[in-house]
Structure 1
Amino acid sequence: MRIYILFLTLSGLSSFVFAANELPDKQAEIPAVSKSASADYIKPRSLDAIPNSEFGKKVELGYSLFVNSQQMRGEFVGNELNCVNCHMQAGMKANAAPLWGAFMAYPAYRSKNDKVNSYAERIQGCFTYSMNGKAPQAEDPELVAIAAYSYWLAMGGILDKHGMQDMPVPELSDQEILQGGKIESFKLPADIAHLYPVDQRGNLTGRGYPKLEAPAQEPDLERGALVYQDNCSVCHGDDGLGIKGADKRAYLPPLWGAGSFNWGAGMHRINTAAYFIYENMPLGKSVQLTEQQAWDVAAFVNSHERPQDPRFSGDLEANAKTYHKHQGYYGKSVSGETLGAHSFPTGDEIIK
């Protein structure tokens, strides 16, 4: 049962949101580029600037759901994670896949499924894979709320960057919010519109996780285990299952096992995890490990069993060949066990 109420009116969104029985073929990989030498990042407005309006209520709900996604446990979330675990500082931190960067990068064409994907579809993919759950649909206020929060971070940050601190964030319709900011109909103030041409909006500095050079040595699980024990276990547990409170729920996130992201999530890629870890871990310290250590511990973390890929239809080898042609361990043998063969349930199996 939901513990929050928000009434929204949505219509005409069938072209932006996939149907309940249709999965996107993969969760799009978060882009990785060389880290900018400048610190000219968008800085979102303070949360106390959220307006006291119906639009503001959506933004506030989006923030709440983003930092405490367990409110949606059993309905849209099937694991013990919160969105903020991978998108640091409530989705505001540059170089940690900030929401303001993602919003301005959609709609976007993806060759893998040969269609233009809306921002709503990108969020849905996160629920399906990273949260091992079920994606909200167009009639669900959660989808609009998270998109509204993303838009508010992006637009407020852009306005402030150009000296327009006194200009309120324009209130958009739900349909406009679910599309994203990379579209001709998305309007920016005339004085700065030329600075953000549509085809460049997906390239905001700090949007993704900064790319690392290929490691000098192949990632090694034994070295990675040592890095994990020395740097990660204090927050994620010796067993990788997170640190749990009295209610048996993890208040520090599990990195593998039944309560973590599934085999379809972008973070199960060794390279994506290495980029994220190097830039953002240990929590609050960042850039404490060597690049080699980041590669090694990313491999170690992702060499453990986790929930099954939701696209799995019974043939592990076929699924691995179709969806896992990247750096990862799905379908591969580690310590005599084939990962994916004994995976934990997916969100569809958990959430009824």
Structure 2
Amino acid sequence: MQQGTGRRVAAGSLLAGLILVGAFTSGAALGQQATPTPPAGGSAAGLAASLASANARIAVWDIPDIDLLPDDEEGRLVRYGRSVLEASARHMGPDAADPAQRFAGNNLACVNCHLDAGRKKFGLPLVAAAADYPRYSTRSGEMADLADRIDSCMTRSMNGRAMPRDARPMRALLAYLTLLSSALPKDAKIEGAGAGAIPPLERPADPVRGAVVYAQTCVACHRAGGEGLRRNAADASFGYGVPPLWGPDSFNDGAGMNRLVTIANFVHDNMPNGVSWVMPVLAPEEAWDVAAYVVSQNRPHRDGLDRDFPDLLDKPVDTPYGPYADGFSQAQHKYGPFGPIRAEIARLKADKGRVPNPNVQ
């Protein structure tokens, strides 16, 4: 890395650290407009609008200090949930000590995608997860609760199977996520949600260009074959110090991280590890291309993907598998450009309202 780039990364890390210290201080205010000003006349509609404005973008996250929870059953369950999130393979991976708890099909950890135990801005945070559910899932076409959302990760990102509701890892994850969201109102919108929004490309993202970026920026940690670095070569249940990005122990092709928009934004705002959205290392174009290189690689396949999204107009534009309603190729859905796809979906929604998935009865 060049000296100038090193200074920018160091400055970005310091600034990010200062911001995150404020964001994660217990008892911090939820936002500058957390207490709305009552509207003139006191109308119910005006108060509702004021409340909506106050909760529109919660910038400072109020997260309880989990280590200060009482040493009782609930406190221990929450702390175990954090451990499941951080050391998933140890608790529920394919080589976990208890065979009955082997729900994951790979040795990844939840924190490989949900950085800092789900508490990093634009690191796919989980701070508002419990406040977001239950909600309608466009992928399943049904209402989903928080346990359903966890199982979606289990069967896709973790390439495993759904957990029973009474399984201890499930109860622990629910307890941890509920605590993270405990200071938020229902359906709260937080700043730093998701993975960010870098400018779109006007061309297809290019895996060939991305291979060059990968060799320059990613290979030292994720390795030439994308296999990552295990914590213990003899015992897979210790998981990874650096997760694999493709291959048999990676997320499957139905995972959200296998969608270009998600992974490109995640890479831009978080990689190399330690970087933040405040001062990224990669240019947006580099992030798009290296993300294209990663999603072009082989990974486990999930059966039944053609039945995702009962209404095809709800399907994200970067979903890399059909069927599609818009007439664009699978390659364009995988690599872009996405502007023409979005325009056609908007036209179809205005014209038809919905397009049923022919594979869903």
Where on the TM-score scale, by shorter chain, does this alignment land: which range? 0.5 to 0.7
Q: Indicate which of 260, 281, 290 corresponds to 1:270.
A: 260
Counterpart of 2:220?
Answer: 234
Kindly name which structure, 1 or 2, has the bigger radius of gyration based on alpha carbons.
2
Partner of 1:100: helix, strand, or coil? coil
C-alpha contact 1:303 1:329 (8 A) present in aligned 2: no
Q: Indicate which of 247, 270, 273 corresponds to 2:234.
A: 247
Is 1:292–2:292 an aligned residue pair? no
Displacement of 1:207 in angstroms is 2.2
In structure 2, relative to structure 1, the CA distance for the partners of 1:276 and 1:325 (3 Å cut) is closer
Q: Describe the superposition over 1:225-275 as per-residue Cα deviations: whole angstroms up to 9, x where unpaired.
A: 011111111111111011134326443100000000001101100111011
What's the TM-score once normalised by structure 2's chain length?
A: 0.64
Q: Which runs of 5+ in 1 are unaligned?
A: 1-37, 159-187, 189-195, 313-317, 335-352
5 Å-filtered alignment, 1:40-55, equals 40-55=59-74
- In 2, the alpha carbon distance for the partners of 1:333 and 1:95 equals 28
Displacement of 1:333 in angstroms is 9.4
Partner of 1:116: helix, strand, or coil? strand
Q: Describe the superposition over 1:249-302 as per-residue Cα deviations: whole angstroms up to 9, x where unpaired.
A: 443100000000001101100111011111111110232100011100111000
Displacement of 1:39 in angstroms is 8.7
| Aligned-partner residue type, residue 258 of structure 1 | P
Partner of 1:99: helix, strand, or coil? coil
C-alpha contact 2:261 2:318 (8 A) present in aligned 1: yes
- In 1, the alpha carbon distance for the partners of 2:274 and 2:212 equals 21
Give the stretch that moved more between structures: 281-290 or 299-308. 281-290
| Aligned-partner residue type, residue 180 of structure 2 | L
Is 1:222–2:242 an aligned residue pair? no
5 Å-filtered alignment, 1:57-136, equals 57-71=76-90, 72-74=92-94, 75-136=102-163
C-alpha contact 1:43 1:92 (8 A) present in aligned 2: no
Q: Which runs of 5+ in 2 are unaligned?
A: 1-56, 95-101, 323-328, 332-361
Is 1:210–2:196 an aligned residue pair? yes
Displacement of 1:329 in angstroms is 4.9
- In 2, the alpha carbon distance for the partners of 1:129 and 1:262 equals 6
Give the stretch that moved more between structures: 95-104 or 271-280. 95-104
C-alpha contact 2:151 2:162 (8 A) present in aligned 1: yes
Displacement of 1:328 in angstroms is 5.5
In structure 2, relative to structure 1, the CA distance for the partners of 1:329 and 1:109 (3 Å cut) is closer
- In 1, the alpha carbon distance for the partners of 2:67 and 2:235 equals 33
In structure 2, relative to structure 1, the CA distance for the partners of 1:282 and 1:43 (3 Å cut) is farther
C-alpha contact 1:101 1:206 (8 A) present in aligned 2: no
- In 1, the alpha carbon distance for the partners of 2:129 and 2:181 equals 9
Partner of 1:251: helix, strand, or coil? strand
Partner of 2:143: helix, strand, or coil? strand
- In 1, the alpha carbon distance for the partners of 2:140 and 2:111 equals 27
- In 2, the alpha carbon distance for the partners of 1:294 and 1:264 equals 21
Q: Indicate which of 264, 267, 270 corresponds to 1:280.
A: 270
What's the TM-score once normalised by structure 1's chain length?
A: 0.65
Alignment size in residue pairs = 251
C-alpha contact 2:130 2:146 (8 A) present in aligned 1: yes
Displacement of 1:115 in angstroms is 2.1
- In 1, the alpha carbon distance for the partners of 2:65 and 2:86 equals 15
- In 2, the alpha carbon distance for the partners of 1:85 and 1:298 equals 16
C-alpha contact 2:196 2:265 (8 A) present in aligned 1: yes
C-alpha contact 2:141 2:309 (8 A) present in aligned 1: no
Runs of 4+ that moved beyond 6 A: 319-325, 331-334
Partner of 1:109: helix, strand, or coil? strand
Partner of 2:268: helix, strand, or coil? helix
Q: Indicate which of 169, 179, 186 corresponds to 1:142.
A: 169
Partner of 1:261: helix, strand, or coil? coil
Displacement of 1:84 in angstroms is 0.2
CA RMSD of aligned residues (A): 2.6
